[in-house]
A = this chain, B = another copy of it.
Amino acid sequence: MSFFRSRWVEQPPQASEVEPTALPRGYRAAGVAAGIKPVGLDVGVLVSDEPATASAARFCHSALLGAPVVASREARTDALRAIVASSGNANVADGGRGLATARAGQQAAADALGLQADDVGIAATGVIGRELPRDRLTEGVAQAAAALGDDADSFTRSIMTTDRGPKRVCLDVDLPSGRVLVSAQAKGAGMIQPHFATMFCFVQTDAAMAHETVELLTGVCVKRSFDRISVDGQLSTSDTVFVMANGASGVRVEPESADELAFGEALDALMRQLAFEIVADGEGAQRVGRIVVRGAPELVEPVARAVAGSPLVKTQLHGADPNFGRILQSTGQALAGTGAPFLVDLEIEGRQVVSGGQVVPLDDGEWRALEEAVKRDQVEYVLSLPGDEGETEVFFSDLSHEYVTINSEYTT
């Protein structure tokens, strides 16, 4: 199957898929089993061999931040040379000890790679509120640094937690000035919400660009991708995006050029599809919904979030139930106190079912067609509120028995 399996993300014509674990020129990566998890790969290192690498970073906005996020924010996020990522323990709420452990992880990578500690971004995912064994992290980093290769497979697997499979891609992008590669590795399945989520996304390209260009493209693309998804409405402590551009291709992407536009389109599609993958791989998820909300700019975001976050809407998506009363109910909840009249229109899979806040009568045939339409893997709802000029979307997963099983039996 193509990487671009979402009906809502188009593959840009200038981007073609290559081997998904491939890395662009000048990058190496590895993942090892260091004993942080009971079993499996759990520490990864990725490095750019080009000294002039430009980068950008984004982190979640929780009041409770993991120590790796704190340590990474203090690093040179505009010129990162390496990433340390680990899974099994998020290193959160462990005070000064946790922060010292994160810094020790950066230092271990710097020592092994001939870099400074602040050249290294660090990220961790897993259980909150437990001590991350420092020795296992630093020894894992040393082992991974000794095992670096030009394939991202083991690195990608080292960042998985409840993910059903690795999420990675490598695109060959045909820019006006030449061909570049863009690879990415992501993880995330639960605690997925508002300002991108318990998710990592690491992107590497061998295009050459200024930090300002990486920063701009990262900001725009994250807002349109990881910022528009929800599995369970829960903001993580540890969300991290690192984007690196090392210039090894010799193809330069100048600001406001046709190259920037073409590269940006590819990066946007790549991040949107990975964001979709995180939702599709949401803990226990079997279906993906897309809620589009149009109307007054100040209303669209809270309504879209309310619908996407409602356990009643999510169980309905799970059960492939065409009943849409719960979408109206959650919209009513979000609009409470705004003074907006409940004059909403609702379309499900292109069929209008509510007009001006009132149910549109459907005959038996229309109802059966609606029942069939909501059985698809990807279901689209379009809600129009009073007002105009605002529009937003949120991708969300269904709520299944498996979500409950995972989260009542697995300690995160």
Instruction: List A residues at the B interface (Cβ < 8 Å).
Output: 61-65, 90, 92-95, 127-131, 190-191, 232-237, 309-312, 315-316, 318-319, 321, 323-326, 328-338, 340-342, 354, 356-359, 399-401, 403-405, 407-409, 411-412
A-B contact pairs, 12 of them (CB 8 A): A62-B336, A65-B332, A95-B357, A127-B323, A130-B325, A234-B311, A311-B399, A319-B409, A321-B408, A323-B411, A325-B411, A399-B404
> Out of B61, B64, B354, which one reaches A129, CB within 8 Å?
B354
Task: Determine how close the nearest CB of chain B comes to the CB of A130; give it in whole angstroms.
Answer: 7
Residues of B within 8 A of A237 (CB): 328-329, 332
As for how many copies of this chain the complex holds, the number is: 2
4 closest residue pairs by CB, A with B: A64-B332, A128-B325, A319-B408, A63-B335
A325 touches B404 (CB 8 A): no
Residues of B within 8 A of A340 (CB): 63
A330 touches B234 (CB 8 A): yes
Given contacts A95-B357, A312-B407, A336-B61, contact A329 B234 (CB under 8 A): yes
Given contacts A315-B408, A354-B93, contact A234 B333 (CB under 8 A): yes
Q: Roughly how many angstroms separate A293 CA and B198 CA in the complex, as a whole number?
A: 25
A408 touches B311 (CB 8 A): no
Which residue of B is nearest A411, CB measured? B323
Residues of B within 8 A of A407 (CB): 311-312, 315-316, 319, 399
Residues of B within 8 A of A354 (CB): 93, 129
Task: Determine how close the nearest CB of chain B comes to the CB of A360; give it in whole angstroms.
Answer: 10
> Out of B236, B358, B404, which one reaches A318, CB within 8 Å?
B404
Of A61, A233, A408, which is in contact with the most chain B CB atoms at under 10 Å from its CB? A408
B408 touches A316 (CB 8 A): yes
Which residue of B is nearest A195, CB measured? B336
Q: A62-B333, A403-B404 are in contact. List 20 more A-B contacts (CB 8 A).
A: A63-B334, A63-B335, A63-B336, A63-B337, A63-B341, A64-B328, A64-B329, A64-B331, A64-B342, A92-B325, A93-B328, A127-B325, A190-B312, A233-B311, A234-B326, A234-B333, A236-B329, A315-B403, A315-B408, A399-B408
Given contacts A62-B332, A323-B129, A333-B235, contact A357 B93 (CB under 8 A): yes
Given contacts A94-B359, A190-B312, A325-B127, contact A401 B405 (CB under 8 A): yes
Which residue of B is nearest A408, CB measured? B319
Residues of B within 8 A of A325 (CB): 90, 92-93, 127-130, 411-412
Given contacts A64-B335, A337-B61, contact A312 B232 (CB under 8 A): yes
Residues of B within 8 A of A326 (CB): 128, 234, 412
Q: Roughly how many angstroms separate A52 CA and B236 CA in the complex, as a whole number?
A: 57
Q: Roughly how many angstroms separate A230 CA and B340 CA in the complex, as a whole number?
A: 25
B328 touches A129 (CB 8 A): yes
> Out of B63, B93, B235, which one reaches A359, CB within 8 Å?
B93
B332 touches A235 (CB 8 A): yes
Residues of B within 8 A of A412 (CB): 312, 323, 325-326
A329 touches B359 (CB 8 A): no
Which residue of B is nearest A313, CB measured? B234
Residues of B within 8 A of A342 (CB): 63-64
B64 touches A311 (CB 8 A): no
Residues of B within 8 A of A356 (CB): 95
Which residue of B is nearest A198, CB measured? B329
Q: Roughly how many angstroms separate A94 CA and B358 CA in the complex, as a whole number?
A: 5
> Out of B93, B316, B338, which one reaches A63, CB within 8 Å?
B338
Residues of B within 8 A of A409 (CB): 319
Residues of B within 8 A of A92 (CB): 325, 328-329
Task: Determine how close the nearest CB of chain B comes to the CB of A21; give it in whole angstroms.
Answer: 31
B191 touches A312 (CB 8 A): yes
